[in-house]
Amino acid sequence: MRGMPALLAPIATRQQLTRWGFTRVEIDRQVAEGRLQRVRIGYFARPDAPPALVAAVRAGGVATGVTALQHHGLWVPEDPRLHIAVAPKAHPPASPDVEAHWTSSFSTRPATGAAFLPVMPLAAALEHALADLPPELAVAVGDSALHQRRISRRLLDTIVEGLPRRVVRRIRRRFDGRSESGLESIARYLLEEEGIECAVQVAIDGVGRVDLLIDGWLIVELDGAQHAEPTQMRKDRARDAAAVRQGYRTIRFASDRLLHHWPECLATVRAMLAAGAPLA
């Protein structure tokens, strides 16, 4: 008994399965045996289909926004909601767990011979995310797309210019593809909002590249979960000590402090800057 061809889309319509040689009886048998799962009327998924994409199709749309961008491999902020793109006349479920984005470019009818795509293309998903997110998170997502070279700066600028003016004013010309993590992008944006300019990914002899450098001497490092591992902690301490020997000072902010206690982080940076650069 065959299953849905591995090289084809993880979710397909009944019409597509028919074109691939499945009869109605065989489709029903595959569902009964667990080789396919019926997502909604006329749509079927392989057992290994990504759960978020299955949920998006079950809700009457396809994945978009941060749900889709995570599938595309970009950095995205934590968001428990399911973001779906739906046709203008669709009626998605009224749920706080589902964020619907109406779009005229969405269609549940794939072109003849084409696979059904349960996720919006990266550029379209990025447009929905940038319009939906707070500005510091929107910039972080855009930076991720640029850093991974998944989108050109010209196309990103075009997407931004098509957003509501309130959004454009906050994020236009704020992207920097050199940023290597979402946390770094968020910190840079928030510091610049306070008038504190940051240099990005600065290489320091004997130390390596640092996330942000302020005023030529204050290093700001943003530590994700991997920095809690003992081996990485030892490396970080060695880097910080090497920086001190060269006249730098380092502040490290863990992700939860940056995301949930920003005023304290800002106060720490301001206090360090007020104390002045260390003596050479």
Residue with tokens 């479920």: 93
Band the pLDDT of 94: cuts 50, 70, 90: confident
Same domain, 191 and 234: yes
Answer whether residue 38 shows pLDDT above 90: yes
Same domain, 80 and 165: yes
Domain of residue 273: give its range.
181-280
What is the count of structural domains for the chain?
A: 2
Average pLDDT over all residues of the chain: 91
Same domain, 137 and 54: yes
In a domain? residue 31: no
Q: What is the dihedral of CA 19, 20, 24, 26, to 10 degrees?
A: 170
CB contact set of 238 (below 8 Å; sequence gap of 6+): none
Same domain, 114 and 217: no
Residue 146, phi then psi, degrees to nearest 5:
-70, -45
Tens digit of each residue's pLDDT (9 = 90 or more) over 163-184: 999 999 999 999 999 999 999 9
Same domain, 189 and 267: yes
Residue 250 β-bridge partners: 219
Same domain, 133 and 186: no
**DSSP-assigned states of every residue in 120-154:** --HHHHHHHHHHHS-HHHHHHHHHHHHHTTSS-HH
Residue 250 contacts residue 204 (beta carbons within 8 Å): no
Answer whether residue 43 shows pLDDT above 90: yes
Q: Among the three residues 134, 162, 177, which one is the final residue of a domain in this structure?
A: 177
Same domain, 63 and 88: yes
Q: What is the mean pLDDT of residues 59-76?
A: 95
Q: Are strands 98-102 and 208-214 parallel, antiparallel or unpaired?
A: unpaired
> Number of helices and strands (H, E) in the chain?
12, 10
In a domain? residue 26: no
What is the 3 state secondary structure string of 20-36? CCCCHHHHHHHHHCCCC
Give the CATH number, domain containing residue 205. Answer: 3.40.960.10
Same domain, 135 and 193: no
Give the rounded percent of residues in the chain with a pLDDT score beyond 90: 78
Q: Among the three residues 121, 156, 177, which one is the final residue of a domain in this structure?
A: 177
Question: pTM for the whole thing?
Answer: 0.88
Spatial distance between the Cα atoms of 134 and 196, rounded to a whole number of angstroms: 20
In a domain? residue 205: yes
Same domain, 186 and 270: yes
In a domain? residue 6: no
Which pLDDT score, from 0 to 100, does residue 230 have?
Answer: 84
In a domain? residue 13: no
Band the pLDDT of 7: cuts 50, 70, 90: very low
Residue 199 β-bridge partners: 213
Band the pLDDT of 39: cuts 50, 70, 90: very high
Which pLDDT score, from 0 to 100, does residue 112 have?
Answer: 55
Residue 251 contacts residue 268 (beta carbons within 8 Å): yes
In a domain? residue 45: no
Band the pLDDT of 6: cuts 50, 70, 90: very low
Same domain, 65 and 154: yes
Spatial distance between the Cα atoms of 164 and 168, rounded to a whole number of angstroms: 6
In a domain? residue 217: yes
Which pLDDT score, from 0 to 100, does residue 279 have?
Answer: 73
Tens digit of each residue's pLDDT (9 = 90 or more) over 218-264: 999 998 867 677 888 899 999 999 999 999 999 999 999 999 999 99
Same domain, 94 and 204: no
Q: Among the three residues 177, 208, 224, which one is the final residue of a domain in this structure?
A: 177
In a domain? residue 28: no
Alpha-carbon separation of residue 188 from 131, 199, 204, 257, 270 (angstroms): 20, 9, 19, 15, 14
Task: Give the type of residue at 105.
Answer: S
- The SS3 of residue 185 is helix
CB contact set of 103 (below 8 Å; sequence gap of 6+): 64, 85, 86, 87, 88, 120, 124, 128
| Nearest by Cα to 211 from 247, 179, 234 | 179
Same domain, 81 and 121: yes
